[in-house]
Structure 1
């Protein structure tokens, strides 16, 4: 079974321009992410996918495998889809370039879910339990699943709504995805769907189109860098991990 890791890296971001090359304790974030991902022994190869020459040249100089993708890619998943047109694999694991401390075990968990369910699901993703502070943040994506841990909905708003005095277990997305070539072809064939546009969450395209996405709870460490202030959180985490 051939399993490819792809790290989409976009330079131009409304919330954080040049994010992949921002320094985290002196090391650019894209390198930190790559060094975490290659520790997953299940992956045959790992590539950075970007449309930016600064990121491309940095990766080349650091001997990080990198492929140039089209500037027309609207999402990271579109970049992974372009890679899949050039490299054949059974599963493409999409690891966001802004996950500099992602636990390699999270990648193993995605792969194991795919081995267990194969093409029963269009895509695979992870979630963690979230606290109330994380639940109210619009940069953290919240997840609702059914009793089979299948995705029901994702939102930047706080969900589910707390009408009663019950203690809600909020769930937050961990940005590691598993896609087959077929699922990437389906994703690329359609334009952004309404809920995907409103929330700016790629997996909602599959939900809007009526496909099933398998979620899995993980305990693995991950801190997504969405805004500059998140860099401090990662640096504090790295300092405490020593």
Structure 2
């Protein structure tokens, strides 16, 4: 299957203004994400979707195509769909959405999401184990799966809830990772649906897909969760980690 990789990079983030251009170890965050995707070698073509000419200029300087999209998309997936529908990208079977604030996303997570789609799921994503303390962070989305590894619900709340605190937490909590693989048909169906009340309340776009009957397969990646960048504190943690693990 031919894979189109799209990095949605919105300049107008509310929690961290100008997020794609914030510096991570001396380079714009979006550039660091591009570097990581290139290292993984899992896409046939990579493009950045942004509403900002400034972001587009930075991306093109890094040698990647940028597409200027509408500035009123309700989610990154809607932005990705605008790009996937362009004539230049119509021949790709699978669209991979690599969120522009995930500079540490592993190859195992990306490959796992693609493998879920190759195995028959309409959408693939990934999750890694969380401690009970990590699960308390509302900036970290959690996911509960059925026995076949398909998502039942995503939430910023701690799910599942432990009624009895002596219930073991090991293996109970899974943190969603910022990656989606979609069949072209699933992506079109997702963005054709209106935003749901749960999506609006949680600010989690994948709830729209779930509530409209799309199957989301979750690849479980046994690795420590590494920070996405949603806040200035996240950026500071990411900076320290990047410098500590610089190759």
- Give TM-score scaled by structure 2 length: 0.92
Cα RMSD after superposing both structures: 1.4
For residues 17-96 of structure 1, the aligned pairs below 5 Å read: 17-86=17-86, 87-88=89-90, 89-96=92-99
1:77-127 CA-to-partner distances (Å, cap 9, x unmatched) read 00111111011211111010001122233222222222222xxx2211100
Report if the CA contact (8 A) 1:122-1:206 is conserved.
Answer: no
Where structure 1 has 5 or more consecutive residues not aligned to the other structure, the ranges are none
Where structure 2 has 5 or more consecutive residues not aligned to the other structure, the ranges are none
Q: SS of 1:226's equivalent?
A: coil
Count of aligned pairs between the two proteins: 239
Matching of residue 224 in structure 1 with residue 228 in structure 2 = yes
Q: SS of 2:58's equivalent?
A: helix
- After TM superposition, give the deviation of residue 232 of structure 1 in Å: 1.7
Range 43-52 or range 126-135, more displaced: 126-135
Matching of residue 166 in structure 1 with residue 167 in structure 2 = yes
For residues 1-242 of structure 1, the aligned pairs below 5 Å read: 1-86=1-86, 87-88=89-90, 89-117=92-120, 121-164=121-164, 165-168=166-169, 169-219=172-222, 222-242=226-246
- After TM superposition, give the deviation of residue 40 of structure 1 in Å: 2.4
Report if the CA contact (8 A) 2:29-2:101 is conserved.
Answer: yes
